[in-house]
Amino acid sequence: MKLSARTALIAAAAATVVVGSITAVGAGATQQQQPQSIAVTPAAATAAASSGGLRVAYFDQWSIYQNAYYLKNVDAIANNLDYLIYDFENIDPTNLTCFEATKASDPDPGGENDPNAGDGAGDAFADYQKSFGADISVDGTADAWGMPIVGNFHQLQELKKRHPNLKVVLSLGGWSYSKYFSDAAATDSSRKKFVSSCIDMFIKGNLPSEGGYGGAGSAAGIFDGFDIDWEYPGSTAGHLGNHTSAGDTQNFTALLAEFRSQLDGLGKHYSLSAALPGGQDKIAKIQTDKIGQYMDFADAMTYDMHGAWDATGPTNFQDPLYPSPSDPSGTIPPGTEKYNTDSIIKAYTKGSSAYGIPGGFPANKLTLGIPFYYRGWTGVPAGSNHGLYQSASGPSAGKTLSGNVPGVAMYKELSGIVDNPADTFFDPTTQSAWFYDGTNFYGGSSPQSIKARTDYIHCNGLAGAMMFSLYDLDPASTLFNSVVNGLAASTPGCAGPPTSTTTTTTTTTTTTTTTTPPGGGGCTAAAWNASTPYNGGAVVSYNGHQWTAKWWTQGDVPGANSQNVWTDNGPCSGGGTTTTNPPGGGTCPAAWSASTPYNGGAVVSYNGHKWTAKWWTQGDVPGANSQNVWTDNGAC
C-alpha cells in the first residue's frame, strides 16, 4: 500500500507572483458518534522534553501565497511553541550542497509522476526577497528599501525578537526535495561538503546576492539549527525518482553525526532534529539504536497511513493510534502488523523482531506527529458505521487553499463538517476521529483524538508533539490549542489500548464481568445496551440509575463518557436529577470532592456507589474518566 506524503500544491499564487518550492512532509505513511465539546482555549507555556511537553510545529515556506498565512499569524501562538520548523530547502543536484533559487517544482499530480519534479527548485523569493507590508508584518512595520533581507527570513527575525525563547529551525528535504540526500550522504567528503554548505548559508547567513537582497552574513542569527527530513533512507517509498542506496542506512546515521560535529564546532549549541518515517518497512532502514545520540529530538511522522491514493477505498483513519481488528487494510510486508501509531512508536523505542528493527531510540527524544489536515473520499455509503471502512467513488474534491489536490483539505475548508457534532465520530478502539456528512468521508484530527494522543505522549514518556502544519490552521487555531492544552494537562493514570467493550464491576463480595452492564434496582426503563443506537431523549437504566441521552449515541457507557452524552436522572428508587457534585447515598463513605486529592486505595461515595481510587487522582469524576481511575464497588 502506498503511504504517500501530503503534497502542498499551491501551483500559482497570482499571475504576477513567482511561486516558490511546492513541497511537503509525509509519513511512511465498535465505533460511535461523539460530538466534540472539549475546550480549546490556549494554555500557558509549559514545555520540557523530559515532561512530555515539547511543542514543535512546521511553518510552510509557501504559506504566504494562496493561503495568506503569515508569520504574523504565528506571533499570536508563539508563546505556546518551543520549536518552529521552517520548511523546506532543497539540495543542489549538481553540487550536492544547500542552495537558494527561485524555481517552482513541477506541480502535482504531474509532479508525482515526474522523477525530476524537484530538481533545482526553491523559493528564494519567499525566503528573503518578498516585501511585506505593515498589515502582514510581525511587528506591524512595512519592509523598507535598502534592507539586507526581507521575506519570511526577516519575519522570522521579527518573530524571534518578540519571542526570545522560541527556537527556529531550518528543515532540509521533505517529500519533494529528498531526491539527492542519498548522494549527499554517500561518502565522508560529500557529507562534509553538504553540511558545511548548509551551515555557511543558513547558520552563518551567507545568502546569495539576488534581487537586491542577501550577501555575506545577511541571514546570520535566524536559525537555531537544522531539521533533516529525508524521505526515506534506503526506501523506494518516497517520491518517484528519489535516489536510494543500500548504504543509506549507515549513511543517514553518518550524516546526522556530521551535522552534530560541525554544529558543535561553532562554539554554541545548535539544535539538530529529524522527521522520521512512519511504517515499520521504512523504520527498518534506520539505525534506531544509534541516531538518537546526535539529535536534540526527532519527530515521528505518525500520519498519512491511509488516504485517497486508494481511490475507491476502503475509507480509513489517517492516523490510527492503536490497531483495530475491524481494519480491512493489509499488513505491512514482510510482517503481520498494520499501520498504527502505537506500533510505530514501539518500533522506534522497543524494536520489532518481525521487521528486524533494533529499537533503542530514546522515548524522551521522540515526538508524536499530529496532522492538521484531512484526507478524504467522496461517494461513500453510510454502511453500518457512518462511512467508516466503506467503498468510495474516488478522492474527495480538491479545495482551493489546499491547492485543489483531490483527497486533501484543511480544517478551515471543511466548515460544517469537522465542526459539526452530527458529522463527527470517534472510534474508541483506534482512539481516532473521522468525519462523515453522508457522502464525504475525512480522516484526521479532532479535539478528542488529540487528547488521546497527548495522553499517549504522557503515558509513554515521549518528548511531546509535532504538528504538521500551521499552514492548515483556522483563525481560532482550534487544533493547535487542543495540542497545547493536552500537553499541559495532567494524565493521572495511564491505561493501555482498549482491548474490548467488556466492563468489569467490582462489589465488596464478588467480581463479575458482563459485556453489557445491566440496569439496576427498581428501574423501569430498559437496561442500557452497548449495541443499541439511541436517539436524543432516549431513557435507559444503568447501575441503578436512570439516564437520558442528549443526542444520538451508541456504545457510550452512561456516566463513563468524557463527552457526557447521558444525563443522570438519579437513582431509580428516588428519582431526582443530577447535580454538579451528586452526594453519596445510604451508608456510603465520605462523598467524593473534586477539590480533594486522593491516593491509591482511597474510598469515596458518588451517585450512591462506593468507589476505590486505583492511583493518585484529583478532579476525576468517578465513572466518568476515560482512564478509569476509580473502581466501582457497587451500590452502597
pLDDT in tens, 277-295: 999 999 999 999 999 999 9
Task: Please check whether residue 83 lies inside any domain of the structure.
Answer: yes
Give yes or no for residue 460 having a pLDDT over 60: yes
Residues whose CB falls within 8 Å of the CB of residue 604, separated by 6 or more in sequence, listed in order: 584, 589, 590, 591, 592, 593, 598, 610, 611, 613, 622, 630
Q: Based on the fold, state whether residues 83 and 160 are members of the same structural domain.
A: yes
Mean pLDDT of 559-578: 61
The DSSP bridge partners found for residue 355 are: none
- Burial class from Cβ neighbours inside 10 Å (0-12, 13-18, 19+) for residue 300 reads buried
Other CB atoms within 10 Å distance of the CB of residue 290: 18
Q: Are residues 356 and 270 in the same domain?
A: yes
- Asked if 450 and 542 sit in the same domain, the reply is no
Task: Say if residue 612 is in the same domain as residue 562.
Answer: no
Amino acid 600: pLDDT: 61
Final residue before a domain boundary, out of 454, 488, 522 = 488
In this structure, what DSSP letter does residue 604 have?
E
Domain shared by 477 and 550, yes or no? no
Average pLDDT for residues 366-380, to the nearest whole number?
Answer: 98
Specify the long-range contacts of residues 403-407, CB closer than 8 Å, at least 24 apart.
403/7, 403/8, 403/9, 403/10, 403/11, 403/22, 403/66, 403/107, 404/9, 405/7, 405/9, 405/108, 405/109, 406/308, 407/307, 407/308, 407/309, 407/375, 407/376, 407/377
Give the percent of the chain with pLDDT over 70: 78
Q: Cα–Cα distance between 430 and 449 in angstroms, integer?
A: 9
User: Is residue 582's pLDDT more than 50?
Assistant: no
pLDDT at 108: 57
8 Å CB contact between 543 and 609: yes
How is residue 16 written as a grid cell?
504576477
Mean pLDDT, the chain, integer: 83
**Conformation bin of residue 572: beta by default, left when phi > 0, alpha when psi is -120 to 50:** alpha
In this predicted model, what pLDDT tens digit does every residue of 330-365 receive, in sequence order?
Answer: 999 999 999 999 999 999 999 999 999 999 999 999
Site of grid cell 436512570? 546
Rounded-to-integer distance, Cα 589 and Cα 584, Å: 8
Residue 583 above 50 pLDDT?
no
Nine cell digits for residue 566: 447521558
- Is 535's pLDDT higher than 70? no
Instruction: Write out pLDDT tens, residues 195-217.
Output: 999 999 999 999 999 999 999 99
Q: Residue 13's Cα: distance from chain center in Å?
A: 27
Same-domain status, 241 and 348? yes
Q: Is residue 448 part of a domain?
A: yes
Higher-pLDDT residue of 430 and 512 is: 430
Q: pLDDT at residue 404 above 80?
A: yes
Decide if 545 is inside a domain: yes
Q: What is the pLDDT of residues 510-530, one digit of tens each?
A: 222 333 333 334 567 888 776
Assigned domain for 412 exists? no
Q: Please state the rounded mean pLDDT for residues 399-403.
A: 92
Q: How confident is the model at residue 44 (pLDDT cuts 50, 70, 90)?
A: very low
- On whether both 145 and 67 belong to a single domain, the answer is yes
Strands 373-378 and 408-410: antiparallel
Q: What is the number of domains present in the chain?
A: 3
What mean pLDDT comes out for the span 162-183? 98
Question: Do 458 and 552 belong together in one domain?
Answer: no
- The helix/strand/coil state of 611 is strand
Q: What is the pTM of this model?
A: 0.75
| Residue 177 C-alpha from the chain's centroid | 22
Whether residue 559 is found in the same domain as residue 629:
no
Q: Domain holding 607: CATH number?
A: 2.10.10.20
pLDDT beyond 60 at 506: no
Report whether pLDDT(34) > 80. Answer: no
User: CATH no. for residue 120?
Assistant: 3.20.20.80
Instruction: Name the maximum alpha-carbon separation found in the chain.
Output: 84
Judgement on whether residues 166 and 122 belong to the same structural domain of the protein:
yes
- Comparing 506 with 170, which gets the higher pLDDT? 170
Residues 472-488, mean pLDDT to the nearest whole number: 96
The last residue of one of the domains, among 469, 488, 507, is 488
DSSP string, 12-29: -S-TTS------------
Query: In this structure, what C-alpha cell is assigned to residue 37?
Result: 465539546
Q: How confident is the model at residue 247 (pLDDT cuts 50, 70, 90)?
A: very high
Q: Residue 566 — very low, low, confident or very high, per pLDDT cuts 50/70/90?
A: confident
Residue 303 lies in a domain: yes
Count other C-beta atoms under 10 Å from residue 500's C-beta: 10
Question: Which DSSP helix (H) or strand (E) runs through 153?
Answer: helix 151-162
**Is the pLDDT confidence value at 313 over 60?**
yes
Any domain includes 470: yes
Check: CB of residue 116 under 8 Å from CB of residue 33.
no
Cα end-to-end span (Å), the chain: 54
Q: Are residues 145 and 288 in the same domain?
A: yes
Is residue 270 assigned to a domain?
yes
- Whether residues 166 and 239 share a domain: the answer is yes
Query: From the CB of residue 439, how many other CB atoms can be counted at a distance below 10 Å?
Result: 15
574 pLDDT more than 80:
no
Q: What is the pLDDT of residues 484-501, one digit of tens each?
A: 999 998 887 774 454 433
pLDDT at 11: 33
Provide the domain limits for residue 222: 54-372+444-488
Residue 279 located in a structural domain: yes
Q: Inform me whether the pLDDT recorded for 2 exceeds 50.
A: no
Question: pLDDT at residue 436 above 70?
Answer: yes
